[in-house]
Structure 1
Amino acid sequence: MNERGDVVDAVDELLTILESDNRVSFAEVGGITRNATEIVVTETGVRSDSEWTTTGVWCRVFADGSAAYRFTSDLSSDGLSEAANRATTGGGQLAQSAPERIDIESSHRGVHDGWARESVTDRSLSEKRVSVEAALDAVETPLDRARVTYADEHVDHSVGTTADSVVRTTVDRASVDATVAPIDGPKLRRHHGSTRGAALLDRLPTLFAEIDCDASTIANAATANPPSGPMTVVLSPSATGQLCHEIGGYLAADVAAFGFSPFELGDQVTDAPLTIDDGVRAGSWAATAYDAEARPTTPVRLVNRGRVESYLHDTTTAAEAEEIPTGNVIPAIGFEQAPRIHHRHLNVHAGTATRDELLADADVYVRRFGPSFYRDEFERTQRSGAMPPSSLYAHDVAERMGDRPDAGTVELPIAEGFLVKDGDLGPAVDSTVVWTADALDTIDSIGETRSTVTGVASKHKSRLPYAVTAPSIRLDVRCEN
């Protein structure tokens, strides 16, 4: 039997094991066949390239009022039984005060074959290597260092639940993560990803031409002292996307249960017409037809003209809030870690302001932020640390820790920024924007032009794809050196 057939049989066998266990109130079981590629290219040439295939099954099991997750590549009967037992007993060790409420009635069935016209498996490793190396070689800006990691995967994924949901999906996901350091400028980092399969390889020349232009601009700019204190800042569409990624994270129901979110439903966070939806775009890096709970992915409005309308939910947090989940339980890349509540592709609505109107009276223009830093230590360690796939367990953790005054404060280092004088970009600067939710109330302009950023978020050790399409915005923030 082929690998895919072995995985399907393993899913059926693991479901049977869990269905026969009286301790199990509900379970989801997924099986994957994953064909993956990784190529690393530096300024000196190809450093490494590899291809591999992974087969395995995962399960999220609800027992004793809690949930636990296990992944195994051992498809033998003994291996499946061990995974089932570990997942079943794992949740009971939490002693969770609020039991998980799961949906044992809804049943979903469907098939989705993805958005790729040409699969990533249709091109050879050598063809991919040539494409990536040629794209970097075409960069004309003198570079001190460069590192480009191209990765792709073709994943056949089958999910079944003890409520008789059965869905099968195929995803051809490809990405390029490029870091370049011009000889006379700061380091630039770009991530581009899609689920259109091999089409990303054809886009590499265009993407690297944009990187080359950005590197040249900042390398040739004069430098100035870092800005400090209250500033009127214009965020590029990409920087707005990075900020809205953080906002989307605070609108996840489990993050709110921890007490980290500065938002509550109904809050009017700004008088500006800021509107943010979460949905699925065909071919987007974060696109998926069904989530890990085998639910179809549907759009949800998070912020409507400055007013917080919704959180992102799984079935347990949705039941607690008497809401309907919209398919936001996102499988981790590679499936070794548990799925998490997360946004998929955030759509931030455009405004009417031109670039010149935005830059008028501004102090700083931010083209890109670096990696964010959460000021509250407890929030920082919880986000990066392990967490069982029991969303309501966050309530127990929050009760033990009490109030956290710095929760919801994000430091965003300016990786690519410029002073603005008389509406024109001036010297390059770096600093750190200290963001709190109050800053949204100062938004006074939203741009008419949008662009998309993609990336991989880390949440409780799970690596999750995300995308944001956003315009520029102008707002007042505090900068710190």
Structure 2
Amino acid sequence: MDETTDGTNAPADGLDAAEWLLSRFESDDEVAFAEVGCLDRDHTTGSTTPSEVRFADDLSHVGVWWRVFAEGSADYRFTTSFSESHLEDLVERSIRSARVLDQNDPAQYDVGTVHRAIHPGWTTGESLSDRTADEKLATVQSAFAGSLDGLTFDRAVTSYRDERLRTTLLTTTGTTVRTSIERASVEAVITPAGAEPVQRHFGATTGATFLDSLPERFDTIVSTARRRSEWPMLDRDLAIGDRVELVFSPRAAAELFHGFTHYLEADSVYFGSSPYAIGDRFGPSMLDIEDCVHAGSWGALAYDIEGRPAMPVPLVSDGIVRNYLHDTVSALEEGTVPMGSVVPSVGYERPPRIHARHVDVARGNDSDASLLDGADLYIEAVESPRIDNEATRTKRASSMPPSVPYAKDIAATTPSEFADEATSQTLSFPVRFGYTIDDGERTRGITDGLVTVSPSDVRSMSAIGNVRETVTGVCSKHRSMLPYAVTSPAVRVSARFSHE
């Protein structure tokens, strides 16, 4: 150990700190199991308009994190300070926090499986680290300006963010996993003159190849902006029926499936929030959904935070729920196998959560024309859904300990007025942009609606399109920020529509 200025000993670097922590946990009789990781993170942030780079910053830090199970409960910590006294203080707090959690059902641990692996990520060719922040943001600005050429707009801005992560995971059961990943994203907002804004998030884990793809990505959002500027808008006082035939575009359907597959996470089941049991009907017989790990996807994960290899999980086949997403604890309890579904929060500052990596919805057989035939509305883009059930919404928004069995304790304390929580679930999607449909053709634009979808609406889905798109973004679960990706076709459902 090196000595700091205050006379305390400190590990020399992140890996030394992680090894010190691992030894500390292994020597503590109160600790049943612990995962420890070190994180070397370089990241770039910036913003551009078509005419200038607003700012471009390169930052870096080294940190350590751990998830420790004591007395059957768990605690998570992250720090960038490696003095021994500071680490010892946080370790004591972790053990004490887990001990006083008073979880009724202790967690179980798989102590027989040991993973030793290295994964270099999906970067091919040039790394994001080979370019400075100024160079990367200049590339974004140039691609953005080129795509906007000829479009009259009131506002156009991008936000860029990337991170280059080198991580090492150690566990008290002997697992050692080293991984690298380069995750980059751009969020762009374009407001065409006199029209509604268009917003897109683009993300990938392909290194500098992502920057090279930006002209094509920006062209797609500019095409959408041009199209919106050409459509007449619906008179806001014109009535639309309460329950209508809706076509969700591939992008809107991606948000729909992202919202409903949250109910297939094991902790959602333990909370008493999920309307689905294994074997239940999720959708029509032609619906297949898999949680995949596409190489280079924004949501790609080689190994999860438990050191488990990330494997595809068939969630729904022939419209029937086949599996939940698990961590090791819930998998052992349910007699199944964890498939690498414990996703770290962006930056690792918050606890990991059970979450899908890349939801892949199989294409159907319906053309755009058949989807629109007889429909009332076409929903092009929606905002993140609102969980309408108050108990479920409160549970998901809460800052939960990283311990799945604790969800059962929360379920047991759910107020009696929410006894029907699992069977009273709907998601409401604010409409960013859509169209009215007349005789199978789009007629007027709409922006001020709310579409409310229930599990029964999803089950009665009447058509699935044959063209797919991929949507990326970041969602919040118990205050952890998790990357998500969904590839989906358009779908047709009957659902409630109301003006906001």
Q: Normalising by structure 1, what TM-score?
A: 0.96
Give the Cα–Cα distance (whole angstroms) in 2 for the partners of residues 475 and 435 of structure 1: 9
1:162 equivalent to 2:172? Answer yes
CA contact (8 A) 2:285 2:320 kept: no
Other-structure match for 1:284: 297
CA positional deviation for 1:281 = 0.5
CA contact (8 A) 2:58 2:132 kept: no
Which is further off, 64-73 or 375-384? Answer: 375-384
Other-structure match for 2:437: 420
Which is further off, 332-341 or 8-17? Answer: 8-17
Match of 2:13, SS state, is helix
What is the identity, as a one-letter code, of the residue corresponding to 1:455?
Answer: G
CA positional deviation for 1:275 = 0.6
1:100 equivalent to 2:104? Answer no
Give the Cα–Cα distance (whole angstroms) in 2 for the partners of residues 42 and 370 of structure 1: 23
CA contact (8 A) 1:230 1:478 kept: yes
Which is further off, 158-167 or 40-49? Answer: 40-49
CA positional deviation for 1:71 = 0.3
Give the Cα–Cα distance (whole angstroms) in 1 for the partners of residues 271 and 51 of structure 2: 46
CA RMSD of aligned residues (A): 1.7
CA positional deviation for 1:16 = 0.3
What is the identity, as a one-letter code, of the residue corresponding to 2:285?
Answer: A
Other-structure match for 2:64: 57
Structure 1 segment 396-411 matched on structure 2, within 5 A? 396-401=409-414, 402=416, 403=418, 405=420, 407-411=424-428
What is the identity, as a one-letter code, of the residue corresponding to 1:136?
Answer: F
Q: 2:30 aligns with which of 5, 20, 23?
A: 23
Aligned length: 479
Other-structure match for 1:34: 41
CA contact (8 A) 2:78 2:350 kept: yes
CA positional deviation for 1:477 = 0.8
Other-structure match for 2:136: 128
CA positional deviation for 1:83 = 2.5
CA contact (8 A) 1:272 1:443 kept: no
Q: Deviations over 1:52-104 (max 9, x none)?
A: 00100000000011000000101222222222222211112211111111212
What is the identity, as a one-letter code, of the residue corresponding to 2:462?
Answer: D
Structure 1 segment 23-422 matched on structure 2, within 5 A? 23-42=30-49, 45-117=52-124, 118-138=126-146, 139=148, 140-225=150-235, 227-401=240-414, 402=416, 403=418, 405=420, 407-422=424-439
CA positional deviation for 1:5 = 7.7
Match of 1:303, SS state, is strand
Which is further off, 40-49 or 439-448? Answer: 40-49
CA change 1:419–1:257 in 2 (3 A) is: same
Give the Cα–Cα distance (whole angstroms) in 1 for the partners of residues 170 and 279 of structure 2: 36
Give the Cα–Cα distance (whole angstroms) in 1 for the partners of residues 392 and 357 of structure 2: 22
What is the identity, as a one-letter code, of the residue corresponding to 1:23?
Answer: E
CA positional deviation for 1:398 = 1.4
Give the Cα–Cα distance (whole angstroms) in 1 for the partners of residues 141 and 419 of structure 2: 48
What is the identity, as a one-letter code, of the residue corresponding to 2:483?
Answer: P
Match of 1:103, SS state, is coil
1:436 equivalent to 2:454? Answer yes
Which is further off, 281-290 or 122-131? Answer: 122-131
Give the Cα–Cα distance (whole angstroms) in 2 for the partners of residues 316 and 38 of structure 1: 36
1:478 equivalent to 2:491? Answer no
Give the Cα–Cα distance (whole angstroms) in 1 for the partners of residues 252 and 394 of structure 2: 25
Give the Cα–Cα distance (whole angstroms) in 2 for the partners of residues 216 and 418 of structure 1: 15
Give the Cα–Cα distance (whole angstroms) in 2 for the partners of residues 345 and 210 of structure 1: 21
Give the Cα–Cα distance (whole angstroms) in 2 for the partners of residues 195 and 114 of structure 1: 8
Give the Cα–Cα distance (whole angstroms) in 2 for the partners of residues 124 and 335 of structure 1: 23
Other-structure match for 2:7: none
1:446 equivalent to 2:464? Answer yes
Q: Normalising by structure 2, what TM-score?
A: 0.93
Other-structure match for 1:456: 474
Give the Cα–Cα distance (whole angstroms) in 1 for the partners of residues 284 and 341 of structure 2: 28
Q: 1:10 aligns with which of 9, 17, 24?
A: 17
CA contact (8 A) 1:188 1:215 kept: yes
Match of 2:213, SS state, is helix
Give the Cα–Cα distance (whole angstroms) in 2 for the partners of residues 142 and 331 of structure 1: 41
Query: Which runs of 5 or more structure 2 residues have no equivalent in the other structure?
Result: 2-10
Match of 1:110, SS state, is strand
Give the Cα–Cα distance (whole angstroms) in 2 for the partners of residues 225 and 409 of structure 1: 28
What is the identity, as a one-letter code, of the residue corresponding to 1:65?
Answer: G
Give the Cα–Cα distance (whole angstroms) in 1 for the partners of residues 347 and 215 of structure 2: 28
Q: Deviations over 1:247-282 (max 9, x none)?
A: 221110101111221211111233331110012000
CA contact (8 A) 1:59 1:87 kept: no
Give the Cα–Cα distance (whole angstroms) in 2 for the partners of residues 106 and 210 of structure 1: 46
CA positional deviation for 1:230 = 1.0
CA contact (8 A) 1:266 1:309 kept: yes
CA contact (8 A) 2:192 2:225 kept: yes
Give the Cα–Cα distance (whole angstroms) in 2 for the partners of residues 384 and 109 of structure 1: 35
Query: Which runs of 5 or more structure 1 residues have no equivalent in the other structure?
Result: none
CA contact (8 A) 2:169 2:176 kept: yes
Give the Cα–Cα distance (whole angstroms) in 2 for the partners of residues 448 and 111 of structure 1: 38
What is the identity, as a one-letter code, of the residue corresponding to 2:428?
Answer: E
CA positional deviation for 1:404 = 5.2
Match of 2:134, SS state, is helix
CA positional deviation for 1:368 = 1.2
Match of 1:334, SS state, is helix
Give the Cα–Cα distance (whole angstroms) in 1 for the partners of residues 497 and 428 of structure 2: 9
What is the identity, as a one-letter code, of the residue corresponding to 1:233?
Answer: L
CA positional deviation for 1:420 = 1.2
